[in-house]
Amino acid sequence: MKHALKISLVCMISLVYPSKVRADHIFGGYISMQQMDAAKGNFRFSVNLYIDDARGYAGYIDELKNYSSEIKIFRKRDNFVMDKFYVPYESSRSIIFDNPACAAQKNFKISAYVRAYIYKVDIDKYDDPDGYYMVTDICCRNIDLTNVDDPGNNTIMFYTEFPALKQNGQIVNYSTPEFPPINGDFICLNKLFKFDFSATDKDGDQLKYYMAEPWQGPKPVIGVSRNDPPPAPYNGVDWSAGYNQTNAIPGNPALKIEVNSGQLSVKANKTGLFLFSVMCEEWRNGKRIGVVKHDFQLPVIQCSLTTPPAPVISYQGNKATEVSFCPGETITLETDNNANWVFQWQKNGDNIPNETQNKLVVSDYGEYQVVKSFKSTCSSDTISQVVKLKNLVATPKIKADNTNICNNASIKLSVENPDSNHSYLWSYKNTPVQTSNEITVTKEGWYVIQAKKNSGLCFSDKDSILITKTISAPLPDPDARYEACSGDSIQLKTVNSNLLQYQWQVNNNNVSKGDKSTLWVKDSGNYTVKVKDDKGCEVDSKIYKVTISSSITVKFDTIFPFCLIGNKKIALAATPPNGVFSGTGINNNIFDANLAGQGKHYITYTYKSPSGCSGKQTRVIQVNQAFTLSVTPQNSTINKGESVNIVTNSSNPNVLYHWHPETYLDDHHIANPVATPDKTITYTVVATSDDGCTVSETIKIIVLGTTSIGSQIYFPNTFTPNMDGKNDEFAIFGNDIESFQLLVYNKWGEPVFESNDINTMWNGGWRNELSNPSPSGLYAITIKVTFKNGDKFEKKDAVMLLR
C-alpha cells in the first residue's frame, strides 16, 4: 500500500517567532529555496509548517498567520552570517486523511501552513566552495510525543545546506528539492506500514535519504525574548529511555528508510505519537552539494483486525489497468459501492480533495488509485490497483545521430518508429516548420515534434531536442580554487588535441605565448581559454580563478594590562579565523592568567592559508599582581550628629583612594576619612595601584534619630558579587514590615530580580542564578513597603553592580 506521507527534503530549517508565540503543537516542517531569476539572484524562500489542530489554543491560527519566520544564512567554513530575513504567511490548508473514521475517532487534525518570500541574494558573495546553511527555529514540539522527554519545552531547529551559487565565475542553477503535499495517515499496531517519503529535484540532482537525529534550538524561557538562531553545531532532542534516531518508532523492523527511494517502513510494536527525522542528501556529479533535514511525527494506534475488501477500479464495466483518451475528453472510473464504506481517490499517490465517492470523473493523465475504509470503524484501509491514464496518441521520440550543428553542415532529425496512421508536426522557436517523419536542420536551438492521429483531432504530448554549436571535444571544468604564494607558479590546463587551437586570456586580454593546452601563471586574475577545432567551431572555457597571495596579513586584537584577580580567563581574537594561538597560558583561543602567572607573556597567532601561505603576529599580555583591601568597620550604626572614623588596610601601601559619594566626608581622597552623615548612607572606596589594578570595598553607616517612614528602610547604592565574602549581595534593611516588594531592572527595562521577602537578597545573577551572572552596571530598583502601623513607603532608585 502506498501512503503518500510526502515530506519535503527538509532543508534544515528554523522558524523564528516573536517570544510571545510559544506553541506545543508543532508537527514538523521544511524550508524550500527555489531559483526564480538566476541573473538577478532572486530566490523564493518558503517555510512549510505542519500543525496539530487538535492541540490548538485560542488565537493560535491568528498567530500563525500574523507572525513571520526568520531565516538566517551562515557560511559553513566559519559561521559568518551572510543574510537574515523574514518570511510572511502565504497560505494554509487542511490535510486530508485516507481513513476518516480513524481520523475522527482518534481526533487527528493536521493543517499545513506556508510562509514564502522572494528575496534577492548577492550572488557574487555566495562563492565559497565549502557552501552555506540556513536555519530557523520554532517553539515547541507536540506535548503528546511518546519518545521525547518534556517535548513541550523542546524548540525545533530546522536546517538546510546548499552549495556556492557562483562557481568559477559562473552562476550555478540550483534549487532545493520539492515535496508533494502530504496525505494524512497513521500506523496500525503490529502491521507492516510503508509510505513514500521522497522528493523531486528540478535540477535533476540525485537524492539519498537517511534517518537522522532531530535537533533542538535554545531552551525557551517564558517572558524572555530569544536571540537570533545561533550557528551550528546543534544539540539533539532529549530522547526518552529506549529511543534514538535508529529506534524512533520501535518494532520489527523499527522505522527505517531506503537510501535511494526514500520509502519509510515499520512494523510498530508500541502505540503512541512518535517523532522522527529524515536527512536527504543532494548529489551532483558524484559530489554531495546539499543536505536537507525534515522532522515529522506519526501516530501508532490499535486498529480493528477486520479490513474491507480491496477495491477494484473499472472503466466501462471492465477492470482497468490502462485507459487511453484524447486531451480535453473526460472518462469515469468507478468501484463497487456499499453504505458501510468510504472512499478517497488519489492521483500519483496524492489524495484528491473532495473526491470521496465510488466514482471519479477524470480529464487529466496520470496514475489513479482509490483507498477504501469502513465508515464507522477504525481499521486498516485497503487500496486498489493502479490505473494509468494516458494520451491516446503516443508521444513521438526524436532520433538524431548528432546534436552539434557546428561540426556538421546540417543535421537530420527523424521520428523513431513512425506510425503511418499518424502525421508529425515539427516546430522551431514555437513556429511550425514542417509536417513529415524527418527534417533537416542547420540552426542551433530547440526543435519540437508532436504527433496527430490521421482520423480525428487527437494530438500527442511533445518531444524536443536541443541542437547546439560547440567544439567536438568538451572542455573540462576548472578546479574550484587556484591558490599559491608569492613567487610560486600554477599550471592551468584544458583538453589537449592536435586538432584544436588555443588562446589563453587573463581578465579578457590575450596572454603572450598562451597558445598551448597548458599555461603556467604567476599572477592573480580570471583566466579563460578560447578553443577552436578544425571545423572552425569555437568555445570559451569557464573561468580559472587564480589567487597569488603576496603575504598573509594577520590582525591580533590588543590585550590591555590587567590584574590577577580570581579565575581570570580571556578569549583571544584574530583574523583570518581558524589560525593557532601559542604561548604560556594558552588553551585553544583562551588565555588563562592563573596558569600563566604574573608578568609579561608573549602570545603569537599564526595563520596558514589553504594554499600554504602563512602569517603571524605576536602580542604582549601584561598580568599585574593584585592586592588586598579591607575597611573597618564594615557597618556602623550611629545617632544623628555622631561621626565614624573609617580605617582602610591595603597590602600595597602605594595606592590612591577615592571615596564616593563624597558627601559628609572630611576628605574623600585619603585612606582613613571621618564621616559625619545626617542620614543612612553606603560609601564605596576604590583603591588604584601604580600598575592600574583596582580593588573596591564598601561600608554602610545607619543613622538613627529620624522620624520619616523612609528612614526606616535602608539599602546600599553599590555591591560587589565577586564571591569574596564581602558585600556579595544587595540587601534591604528595615523593621516592623507587613509586606514588601523589590524589583530590579537592567538598562533595557527587563526585570532581572524580584522578591517579596525582605530577607531574600539579590546575588547579582539573572533571576538569582549564579550560573548566569548579570554584567557590571547601574540597575534600576523599585521598593514598595507596607509597615505594620499601616504606613506605606515606595521608592525608585538605582544600585551599582561592580565585578
pLDDT, tens digit (0-9, with 9 covering 90-100), for 528-569 = 999 987 777 788 889 999 988 777 888 998 887 878 877 788
Confidence tier at 472 by pLDDT (50, 70, 90): low
- Residue 710 pLDDT: 45
Among 54-58, 449-453, 519-523, 753-757, name the one with the lowest average pLDDT.
54-58
Among 137-141, 500-504, 584-588, 665-669, name the one with the lowest average pLDDT.
137-141
- Residue 189 pLDDT: 92
- Residue 225 pLDDT: 40
Phi, psi of 105, rounded to the nearest 5 degrees: -65, -35
- Residue 58 pLDDT: 67
**Closest to 349 in 3D by CA, of 577, 119, 98:** 98
**Closest to 737 in 3D by CA, of 766, 709, 778:** 709
**Is the pLDDT at 463 greater than 90, yes or no?**
yes
Nearest 5°: CA angle at 595, between 589 and 596?
80
**Is the pLDDT at 281 greater than 60, yes or no?**
yes
The dihedral formed by the CA atoms of 348, 351, 354 and 357, expressed in degrees to the nearest 10: 80
Pairing label, strands 272-284, 431-435: unpaired
> Where are the extended beta strands (E) located within 26-104?
26-37, 42-52, 69-75, 81-87, 89-94
Average pLDDT over residues 752-764: 91
> Where are the extended beta strands (E) located within 555-598?
555-556, 562-564, 569-571, 574-575, 580-582, 586-587, 590-592
- Residue 229 pLDDT: 86
Average pLDDT over residues 640-656: 90
The 10s digit of each residue's pLDDT in 630-643 is 999 888 888 888 89
Average pLDDT over residues 619-648: 88
Three-state DSSP at 101 gives helix
Q: Please indicate whether residue 605 or residue 456 has the higher confidence score (pLDDT).
A: 605
**Can you tell me the distance from the alpha carbon of 703 to that of 712, in angstroms, rounded to the nearest whole number?**
10
The 10s digit of each residue's pLDDT in 16-74 is 333 334 456 788 888 989 999 887 899 999 988 888 887 766 677 887 888 888 999 99
Mean pLDDT of the chain, nearest integer? 86
Q: How many CB atoms lie within 10 A of CB 664?
A: 19
**Is the pLDDT at 649 greater than 60, yes or no?**
yes
- Residue 802 pLDDT: 87
The 10s digit of each residue's pLDDT in 157-173 is 999 999 999 988 788 99
Confidence tier at 625 by pLDDT (50, 70, 90): confident
Are 641 and 679 in contact by the 8 Å Cβ rule? The answer is no
Are 88 and 45 in contact by the 8 Å Cβ rule? The answer is no
**Is the pLDDT at 431 greater than 50, yes or no?**
yes
**Cell digits of residue 549:** 597571495
**Can you tell me the distance from the alpha carbon of 744 to that of 766, in angstroms, rounded to the nearest whole number?**
10
**Can you tell me the distance from the alpha carbon of 107 to that of 338, in angstroms, rounded to the nearest whole number?**
25
In whole angstroms, what separates CA 174 from the centre of its chain? Answer: 18
Pairing label, strands 431-435, 459-467: unpaired
Confidence tier at 317 by pLDDT (50, 70, 90): very high
Confidence tier at 670 by pLDDT (50, 70, 90): very high
- Residue 801 pLDDT: 87
**Can you tell me the distance from the alpha carbon of 280 to that of 331, in angstroms, rounded to the nearest whole number?**
38
